[in-house]
Amino acid sequence: MDRNVKVMFDRQLYVFCQEAAQICHSKEFKQLHKEMAKLYRKKGVNNFKVIAFHDSLYSIYMEQHDGELSSQMRSL
């Protein structure tokens, strides 16, 4: 792997981890995770806490980046 590509990837990963940490400590995330875990438990989903965590994080991340991703898709 080219050194510049690796540095760029490492930077992107670092930024993503920062964003994920901020999301996971937000009141919005905690409330959404709690509601989703409750719903998934009622529906009998295996590993409902892990899946609710993933879905909550993904949902908020995508919501925050929706405009950015839409403009990237239009440029393809």
From 25, 50, 26, select the one nearest 37 (Cα to Cα): 50
Q: Which two tokens stand for residue 75?
A: 């440029």
| Confidence tier at 71 by pLDDT (50, 70, 90) | low
Number of alpha helices (DSSP H) and beta strands (DSSP E) in the chain: 4, 0
pLDDT at 29: 98
From 63, 53, 1, select the one nearest 24 (Cα to Cα): 53
pLDDT at 75: 57
| Confidence tier at 1 by pLDDT (50, 70, 90) | low
